[in-house]
């Protein structure tokens, strides 16, 4: 009963060869059989089955929504009223959300079934899903390897067929990098195209909610329903995105990404073949130089840690969440609750962010990083004045072994070298499967980035290229 798209599910439902409760039971069985992956933190079995019965009745009456038949998992930093949300952190253990994120309300209105919440790096800080308070997620294609992060639980769940699709969040590649390492599709929309209302913030000027799916078609459908202005999010775009699709065949690729010694030879070879394939189909594909590649990761980590330092100040053990039992007095409560409640990586980033914002260092670090961000945006706008799409590998390699990079934060941070660009500039970007590493048989993806607000064009081009590459 494995499905690769909502279209396949709905076809089976319309032919009455299956029922929606049977589809949900299929996924529940898969979740149980592969619970060792640690992808789900909580499964809402009874609720999902009851909702399946309700939506099946709508299907029988011909009144069901666009997403009837889709079984979805949500990353554990997206709020769903009456359900726990912890950002995979001890400091929010057992916290129950008082409201639903805008994206959840919009998807539920179209009859999606939410089957549970998915593990992630704590407060979405990580590139391997080894930073969760609830333990690491295993890559379903090789359980000795990471699924990527921070949306590793979402990626693993889709790749292992535990749900048809999942929601993740992307601050510096947290949707696209795990999608690449598990062989699925991961889409980061234009910044502001999807409301952040109800997303537990890591870095507010970077974070975006997006879909993780088995097909570009499903990613496009989910995005189309989630996107749009929202009065609850002041950073959301205030106009509707154009659904007009560009048919331009001008494509660029960053030559530095293929010349880098860090890129695995199999990734480089597959990228070169993909470029030649596009050329043979009539696309103009040209190399361009992007001299700021080495500055992107440092700028990204200065800015995101600064925002994290501010955003995570609210988790103090006073109003909700974990409070140290040994604390004596208000100051000790703050100190002990945060020390005991936050994990090592989160504390590292809070401290770094507090440092770059401190008196005497603010302009040298935070101010400089903001200026670098402006230079990156200007250069990116210049590229897109001549081209419609920009290609690069999503990652330098396939999935690495669990524990391989855990003691080397710099090596871990460099996992984001090709993905942070779209978050620094706000552009839409998608990872689709491209090939596998011969030695390890682990997948990797190609990344397609587009002009600001050209989301539907990026998705259309991704759909075309996925067919072209036989994915």
* Residues carrying an active site annotation: 75, 150, 174
CA distance 347 to 308: 10
Decide: helix, strand or coil at residue 41: strand
Decide: helix, strand or coil at residue 444: strand
- CB count in 10 Å sphere of residue 161: 18
Q: Do the beta carbons of residue 137 and residue 38 sit within 8 Å?
A: yes
Nearest to 201, CA basis, from 213, 191, 209:
209
CA distance 48 to 25: 9
Query: Which residues face 454 on adjacent strands?
Result: none
- Write out the two tokens for 228: 């749009």
DSSP letter assigned to residue 30: H
Nearest to 172, CA basis, from 307, 358, 36:
307
Omega of the bond prior to 78 within 30 degrees of 0, cis?
no
DSSP letter assigned to residue 201: P
Longest Cα separation, the chain: 71
Q: Do the beta carbons of residue 251 and residue 468 sit within 8 Å?
A: no
Terminal CA-to-CA distance of the chain, rounded, Å?
20
> Backbone phi, then psi, for 76, in 5-degree steps?
-75, 35
- Write out the two tokens for 141: 């294609």
CA distance 146 to 156: 9
Residue 17, Cβ density class (10 Å: 0-12 exposed, 13-18 middle, ≥19 buried): exposed
> Backbone phi, then psi, for 210, in 5-degree steps?
-155, 165
Query: Which residues face 254 on adjacent strands?
Result: 288
- Write out the two tokens for 142: 């090789």
CA distance 300 to 425: 11
């Amino acid at each position: 009963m494995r499905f690769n798209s909502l279209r396949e599910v709905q076809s089976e439902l319309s032919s009455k060869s299956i029922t929606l409760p049977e589809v949900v039971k299929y996924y529940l069985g898969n979740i149980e059989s592969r619970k060792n992956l640690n992808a789900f933190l909580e499964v809402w079995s009874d609720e999902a089955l009851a909702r399946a019965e309700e939506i099946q009745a709508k299907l029988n009456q011909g009144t069901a929504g666009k997403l009837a038949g889709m079984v979805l998992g949500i990353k554990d930093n997206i709020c769903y009223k009456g359900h726990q949300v912890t950002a995979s952190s001890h400091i929010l253990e057992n916290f129950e959300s008082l409201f639903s994120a805008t994206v959840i309300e919009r998807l539920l209105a179209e009859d999606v079934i939410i089957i549970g919440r998915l593990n992630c790096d704590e407060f979405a800080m990580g590139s391997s899903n080894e930073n969760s308070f609830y333990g690491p997620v295993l890559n379903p294609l090789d359980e000795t390897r990471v699924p990527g992060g921070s949306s590793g639980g979402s990626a693993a769940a889709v790749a292992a067929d535990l749900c048809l699709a999942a929601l993740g969040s992307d601050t510096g590649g947290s949707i696209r990098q795990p999608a690449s390492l598990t062989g699925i599709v991961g889409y980061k929309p234009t910044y502001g195209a999807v409301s952040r209302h109800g997303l537990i913030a890591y870095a507010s000027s970077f974070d975006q909610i997006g879909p993780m799916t088995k097909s570009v078609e499903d990613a496009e459908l989910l995005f189309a329903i989630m996107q749009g202005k929202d009065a609850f999010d002041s950073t959301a775009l205030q106009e509707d995105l154009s659904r007009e699709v560009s048919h331009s065949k001008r494509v660029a690729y960053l030559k530095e990404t293929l010349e880098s010694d860090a890129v695995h030879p199999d990734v480089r070879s597959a990228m070169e073949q993909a470029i030649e394939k596009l050329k043979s189909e009539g696309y103009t594909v040209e190399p361009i130089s992007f001299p700021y590649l080495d500055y992107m990761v440092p700028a990204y980590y200065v800015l995101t840690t600064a925002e994290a330092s501010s955003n995570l100040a609210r988790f103090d053990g006073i109003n909700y969440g974990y409070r140290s039992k040994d604390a004596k007095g208000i100051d000790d409560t703050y100190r002990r609750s945060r020390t005991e409640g936050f994990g090592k990586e989160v504390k590292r980033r809070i401290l770094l962010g507090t440092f770059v914002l401190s008196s005497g260092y603010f302009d040298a670090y935070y101010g400089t990083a903001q200026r670098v961000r402006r230079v990156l945006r200007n250069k990116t706008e210049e590229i897109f004045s001549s081209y419609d799409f920009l290609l690069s590998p999503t990652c330098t390699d396939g999935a690495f072994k669990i524990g391989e990079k855990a003691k080397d934060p710099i090596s871990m941070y460099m996992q984001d070298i090709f993905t942070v660009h779209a978050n620094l500039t706000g552009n839409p970007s998608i990872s689709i499967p491209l090939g596998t590493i011969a030695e390890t048989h682990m997948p990797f993806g190609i990344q397609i980035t587009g002009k600001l607000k050209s989301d539907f064009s990026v998705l259309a081009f991704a759909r075309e290229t996925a067919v072209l590459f036989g994915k």
